[in-house]
Amino acid sequence: MTRHANEPPEVELDEIIDGIVSWARIESPSTDKEGVNRMMDTASNAMIALGATIERTPGREGFGDTVKARMPWGGDGPGILVLGHLDTVHLIGTADGPLPIRREGDNLYGPGVYDMKGGVYITYHALRRIVRAGDETPLPVTFMFIPDEEVGSPTTRDLIEAEAARNKYVLVPEPAQDRGNLITGRWAFARFKLKTLGTPAHAGATLDQGRSAIHEMAEQIIRIEAMSEPDRHVTFSVGVINGGTFVNVVPMECTAEVLAVAPTQADLDSVCTRMLNLDQINPSVPFEVQQGPIRPLFEPSDEVIGLYTMAASFAKETGFELGHGQVGGGSDGNFTGAMGIPTLDGLGLCGDGFHTHNEHVYISSIIPRCNVVEHMLRALE
C-alpha cells in the first residue's frame, strides 16, 4: 500500500491515532444536535481537503445534519457508498469522566472510538492515501455521515436508501465482530415505545386511591422480557424507563423503550405482532404500545459473499485471516443490504466494549484494517 512520501509505518500509525483521538474528543451523543454537528463540520472539512464536494441536509426532529461527500472522479454512474455514523451512545462528559481518552498498551480507549468513529476515520484515511498518491479509484466514491444511527436512524433511513440506490456497492466501517470478522448479514431490529397512565394520589395519606403507572410498567417489562427466546436469538430488552414526579406521589405516567431482535423475517413479524397486541395487566391503568424504527433483515447474497471473498483474499496475501457471518448488532447496513445492494459491513476496527465505559480499539488492527479498506476502494469496479 502506498504511504505519503514513503513515511515509516509508525509515523502513519501515529497520524491515524491522532485523528481518531481528535474525533473522539468531539462528544456527539445522538440527542445532542450541536455535538453531532460539530462532528459533521469536522468530517466535512476533512473530506473537502481531499477534494470532495459536500452536500449537507439539515437535521430533523432535533437530530443533527446528514453529510454526503462525493469525490470528483468516476463520473455520475453508480459507485461506492461508504456509510458511517458519527453519533455515539456516550453522553457529554463521558471523556472527562468514566471513559477518558487514553492509550494503554495495544488499547486505545474513548467514547465512540470503536463504534464507530475509528472505523470511519480509517476509511477516510484509506481514501486520503489514494489522494496523496495522486491516484483515483475506478468507481466514484461517496461518503455519507449519519447523525442518528444509534437511535435507529429514524430521520435518515429515506436518505440512506435513496443514496444507496444510486450506487453499486456499499461499504460500512462499523466495528469488526468476532475477533475481526467481516459482517455479511445482520438480524432485524424493532423498537417500541411503551406508556402507562396511572391515577395520582398522596403516597402516604391516600395510597389506596392511586393506581401506579410505574407498577404497571414494571409488570409489563417482566412480561415482555420473558418473551425472549435466547436459544433462537429472539430477544426483547427494555433499555430506557422514565416515570414519576415525587416519591410521595403515586406516579400517573411512565414510559419505556423496547429493543427487539429477530434473526428471520418470520420472527420479526411475530415480534411486532406480539408487541402490538399486548394489553394492560391492571384494568384501571391504561397501557399503550407504539412501534418505532425497524431495521430490516440483511441476509447474505452471492454478491455480498463476493465482496467478502475479495477482502479476505487480500487480507490473506498480507498475512491475516478474515472470517465473516451474520450478526445480531444492527447498523445502517441493514437498510442497504435489505435493498439487495451488495453491502460489506464490519470493515471497521477490532476492539471491545462498545456501548460501555470500557470501549476501546486494538491499535494493532489499525493499519491492517485500513489496508483492506484501501484495497476495496481501489479494486471495486
pTM of the model: 0.93
User: Nearest-CA neighbor of 116 among 5, 39, 200?
Assistant: 39
Residue 215 has a CB neighbour count (10 Å cut-off) of: 19
Residue-wise DSSP of 226-250: TT-BGGGTBEEEEEEEEE-S-TTB-
Query: 40-77, pLDDT tens digit by residue?
Result: 999 999 999 999 999 999 999 999 999 999 999 988 88
Could you tell me if 67 and 150 are in contact, meaning their C-beta atoms sit under 8 angstroms apart?
A: no
CATH topology match: 4-187+297-379 vs 188-295: no
Name residue, grid cell 472510538: 113
Query: 204-238, pLDDT tens digit by residue?
Result: 999 999 999 999 999 999 999 999 999 999 999 99
- Domain chopping of the chain, boundaries: 4-187+297-379, 188-295
Q: Is the pLDDT of residue 1 over 90?
A: no
Name residue, grid cell 441536509: 57
Which pLDDT band, with edges at 50, 70 and 90, does 3 fall under? very low
- Which residues, 6 or more positions from 354, have their beta carbon under 8 angstroms from its beta carbon? 114, 115, 175
Beta-bridge partners for 82: 143, 171
How far apart CA 177 and CA 159 sit, in angstroms, is 26
Query: 152-199, pLDDT tens digit by residue?
Result: 999 999 999 999 999 999 999 999 987 799 999 999 999 999 999 999
Q: What is the pLDDT of residue 74?
A: 87
DSSP 212: -
Sign of CA dihedral 71, 76, 81, 85: positive
In the chain, the DSSP E strands lie at 53-57, 66-70, 80-85, 102-104, 107-109, 141-146, 169-171, 182-186, 188-197, 235-243, 253-262, 287-295, 324-327, 343-344, 351-352, 360-362
Q: Is the pLDDT of residue 341 over 90?
A: yes
Assign a CATH topology to domain 188-295: Alpha-Beta Plaits (3.30.70)
If one looks up domain 4-187+297-379 in CATH, what number appears? 3.40.630.10
How far apart CA 127 and CA 107 sit, in angstroms, is 24
How far apart CA 270 and CA 381 sit, in angstroms, is 40
Nearest 5°: phi and psi at 53?
A: -95, 130
User: Nearest-CA neighbor of 193 among 234, 242, 230, 157?
Assistant: 242
Q: Is the pLDDT of residue 38 over 70?
A: yes
How far apart CA 51 and CA 132 sit, in angstroms, is 11
C-alpha cell of 229?
A: 427466546
How far apart CA 266 and CA 227 sit, in angstroms, is 15
